[in-house]
Amino acid sequence: MAKITGNLASKVGLPPGTLLHVGDMRADKAHIRVIHYNEDSLAEYDDVNIASLAQLTAEPGVTWIQVRGLTAQSVEGIGRQFAIHPLVLEDILHTNQRPKFSDYGDYLAVILKSLVVTAGTIDYNSEQVSLILGPNYVISFLESLPEDNDVLHNVYERVKSRRGKIARLGADYLLYALVDSLVDHYFLALEHLGEKIETLEEQIAARPRPELLGELHALKQDMLFMRKSVWPVRELVSALERGESALIQETTLIYLRDIYDHIVQVIETVEIYRDMLSGMLDIYLSSVSNRMSEVMKMLTIISTIFIPLTFIAGVYGMNFDYMPELRWQYGYPLILAVMLIMSLLMLRYFQKRKWL
Rg (CA), the chain: 35
Closest to 250 measured CA to CA, from 347, 325, 169:
169
Closest to 30 measured CA to CA, from 12, 7, 48:
48
Report which DSSP code applies to 172.
H
Tell which one of 56, 145, 283, 342 touches a second copy (CB under 8 A): 283
Give min distance, CB of 49 to a second copy, in A: 28
- Can residue 16 be called a binding residue for a second copy (CB under 8 A)? yes
CB atoms within 10 A of CB 91: 18
d(CA 131, CA 139): 6
Question: Three-class SS of residue 18?
Answer: coil
- Can residue 19 be called a binding residue for a second copy (CB under 8 A)? no
- Can residue 98 be called a binding residue for a second copy (CB under 8 A)? yes
Per-residue burial over 177-194, b if 16 or more Cβ lie within 10 Å, else e, is bbbbbbbebbeebbebbe
| Positions in 120-149 near a second copy (CB under 8 A) | none
Tell which one of 76, 308, 342, 347 touches a second copy (CB under 8 A): 308
| Residue (12 or 58) nearer to a second copy, CB | 12
- Can residue 33 be called a binding residue for a second copy (CB under 8 A)? no
- Cβ atoms of 204 and 212 within 8 Å: the answer is yes
Tell which one of 313, 337, 341, 356 touches a second copy (CB under 8 A): 313
- Can residue 289 be called a binding residue for a second copy (CB under 8 A)? yes
- Can residue 181 be called a binding residue for a second copy (CB under 8 A)? yes
Q: Measure the CA dihedral 165/168/169/174, to 10°.
A: 70
d(CA 14, CA 52): 32
- Can residue 329 be called a binding residue for a second copy (CB under 8 A)? yes
- Can residue 341 be called a binding residue for a second copy (CB under 8 A)? no
- Can residue 299 be called a binding residue for a second copy (CB under 8 A)? yes
Residues in the interface with a second copy (CB under 8 A) total: 118
- Can residue 45 be called a binding residue for a second copy (CB under 8 A)? no
| Residue (32 or 270) nearer to a second copy, CB | 270
Give min distance, CB of 230 to a second copy, in A: 12
Report which DSSP code applies to 309.
H
| Positions in 193-232 near a second copy (CB under 8 A) | 194-195, 197-198, 205, 207, 210, 213-214, 217, 220-221, 224-225, 228, 231
Complete edge-to-edge strand list for the sheet that includes strand 137-142 = 42-45, 31-37, 62-68, 137-142, 121-133, 108-118, 100-103
Closest to 172 measured CA to CA, from 229, 69, 252:
252
Tell which one of 59, 80, 191, 345 touches a second copy (CB under 8 A): 191
Question: Three-class SS of residue 133?
Answer: strand
Tell which one of 20, 43, 51, 188 touches a second copy (CB under 8 A): 188
Q: Measure the CA dihedral 165/171/174/175, to 10°.
A: -150
Give min distance, CB of 218 to a second copy, in A: 10
Q: Which helix (H) or strand (E) holds 117?
A: strand 108-118
- Cβ atoms of 127 and 143 within 8 Å: the answer is yes
Give min distance, CB of 131 to a second copy, in A: 17
| Positions in 68-97 near a second copy (CB under 8 A) | 85, 87
Give min distance, CB of 73 to a second copy, in A: 18
- Can residue 158 be called a binding residue for a second copy (CB under 8 A)? yes
> Which part of the chain contacts a second copy (CB under 8 A), choosing from 57-65, 69-77, 126-134, 315-323?
315-323
- Can residue 307 be called a binding residue for a second copy (CB under 8 A)? yes
